[in-house]
Amino acid sequence: MALTMFLVMAALLLLGFPMMIPLIAAATVGVVELFGDIDKAEFMVQQMLGGIRPASLIAVPMFMLAADIMTRGHSADRLIDMVMVFVRHIKGGLAVSAVTACALFGAVSGSTQATVVAVGGPLRPRMLKGGYKDSFILALIVNSSDIAFLIPPSIGMIIYGVVSKSSIPELFIAGIGPGLLIMLLFSIYSMIYATIHKVPTEKAATWWERFVAVRRALWPLGFPVIIIGGIFGGIFSPTEAAAVSVLYALFLEVLIFRSITIRDFYSIAKSTGMITGVVFILVGAGAAFAWVLSFAQIPQELLGAIGFTEMGPTAVLFVISLTFFIGCMFVDPIVVILILVPIFAPAVQSTGLDPILVGTLIVLQAAIGSATPPFGCDLFTAVAVFKRPYIEVIKGTPPFVFILLSVSVLLIFFPQLALFLRDVAFDK
């Protein structure tokens, strides 16, 4: 039965069906085989609605809405300007600015695609003028945007948290360490690249320019304060922090910067609503799929067959990483998390591994996979946003993917990279 379900799913997925259908079809096959009766499809509907309803998932549309407002307004530009005046004069300064700006924008939004647009849009032309090759720029932007997936708020973390029933605030804080490490390594690579390719260095900003840029960025810097400070100060739940950042984004862009109008807000809410529909129907279909799997005890069977629980923690982490990495090379990371987490979750529990560590590793793989050729979905975002041929977008990616994979290995051997901050913040 497991085999039929996976074959149906894989076939429909590869043929290019809308992604909810492979999940729903596989679940239907499962239901028919389990109960011998399609009428039990009613339970599927029940599971779908149950998957969509959890209150903590509301954080996803809220963070998307806040990011949407900021991307159309001035917040992103001001943050980028602030980063640039401080680092543009070092070797590879523009590239380092792009990496840092991605991490910073990741701290105000939870989506990699919003980051590609918000940071890549304004910085790519400047880097082209600054003497960087386009293939390097595109790879840099696509991969650095993945840092946004790790730095809180993170949509991937929220969905993992809900599916695996682990603490979203703890996941959020665990993502910071690996996120900053990637930022550092990408910056170093950028400096080496600039040295080798003799990219000219930019003129340093004056202290007055720096002062002005920081003052202009003060308002947008309120986002990380609200989100990170609010959640870890115990003031807000992640969902509340998300709603408050929507309010704050509106306050900034409508009242302070006057970059969008209330009418724009309605159309932004509309587009967030549509993306929410697209993502949440997948969440629902994923829940139905996971329910059938666990009802038929497929995860135990599957993982038992490869001796998963007797492998020891390091091997388990490697297997999980590899599975998610490969999965995300082909399919949207949210779908992969929805399908694979329920398979691994029971086994992870029995190995005694920290679900927060596993979650951080999984979200890291999701980030890497979605920027890895051939089918990583961020690559296609870049193709669409920058209107560049696919081949040029992927040409510069190998060094970045190599760095990201090294970080995964480091994280497996030194879990403290992720867990140190968590332990400090939550007194563990």
Partner 1 sequence: MNQTDTKNNSRSLIVRILNGVDSKIAKLEEFIMASGVILMALNTIANVISRFVFNHSIIFAEELNSTFILLVTFAGMGYAARHGRHIRMSAFYDYMPDKARKRLMTLIVAVTAIFMLVLAYYSVQYVYNVYSKGRIMPALGIPVYLTYLWVPVGFFITGIQYALTTVKNISEEGIHLSTDLKEQAPPEIEV
Residues near partner 1, by CB under 8 A: 13-21, 24-25, 28, 39, 41-42, 44-46, 49, 52-55, 57-58, 61-62, 65, 113-114, 116-117, 236, 239-240, 242-244, 246-247, 266-267, 269-278, 280-282, 284, 330-332, 335, 374-375, 380-381, 383-385
For residues 251, 255, 257, 262, the Cα torsion angle rounded to the nearest 10 degrees is 90
Helical (H) or strand (E) element with 179: helix 168-196
68 or 354: whose CB is closer to partner 1? 68
Least Å distance between CB 187 and partner 1? 25
Give the nearer residue to partner 1 in terms of CB position, either 52 or 191. Answer: 52
10 or 204: whose CB is closer to partner 1? 10
181/282 with CB nearer partner 1: 282
CB 89 within 8 A of CB 271: no
Least gap, CB of 295 to partner 1 (angstroms): 17
In angstroms, what is the minimal distance from the CB of 207 to partner 1?
A: 36
CA proximity to 268, closest of 406, 119, 65 = 65
Quick one: how far is CA 385 from the chain centroid?
18
For residues 240 and 62, the answer to whether their CB atoms sit within 8 Å is no
Least CB distance from residue 192 to partner 1, whole Å? 31
For residues 156 and 368, is the Cβ–Cβ distance under 8 A? no
Question: What is the three-class DSSP state of 89?
Answer: coil
Opening angle at CA 365, ends 362 and 370, nearest 5: 130
Considering the complex, state which of residue 76 and residue 317 has its C-beta at the smaller distance from partner 1: 76
Nearer to partner 1, 29 or 290 (CB): 29
CB of 49 to partner 1, least distance (A): 7
Nearest-approach distance from CB 101 to partner 1, in angstroms = 17
**What is the spatial distance between Cα 104 and Cα 80, in angstroms, rounded to a whole number?**
9
User: Toward partner 1, which CB reaches closer, 254 or 315?
Assistant: 254
For the CB of residue 232, give the shortest distance to partner 1 in the complex, in Å: 16
Q: How far is the CB of 166 from partner 1 (least distance, A)?
A: 19
CB of 379 to partner 1, least distance (A): 10
Based on CB atoms, which residue is closest to partner 1, 240 or 423? 240
Backbone angles phi, psi at 375, to 5 degrees: -115, 10
Token digits for 154?
Answer: 């993170």
Q: How far apart are CA 386 and CA 299, in angstroms?
A: 41
Considering the complex, state which of residue 167 and residue 309 has its C-beta at the smaller distance from partner 1: 167
Residue that the structure tokens 């999701």 belong to? 366
Instruction: Give the tokens for residue 279.
Output: 């993502």
Q: Are 366 and 337 in contact (CB under 8 A)?
A: yes
For residue 185, the minimal CB distance to partner 1 (Å) is 26
* Sign, Cα dihedral of 61, 64, 65, 66: positive
Task: Kindly report the three-state secondary structure assignment for every residue of 256-312.
Answer: HCCCCCHHHHHHHHHHHHHHHHHHHHHHHHHHHHHHHHHHCCHHHHHHHHCCHHHCC
Cβ-based nearer residue to partner 1, 2 or 275: 275
Pseudo-torsion of CA 65, 387, 382, 56, nearest 10°? 20
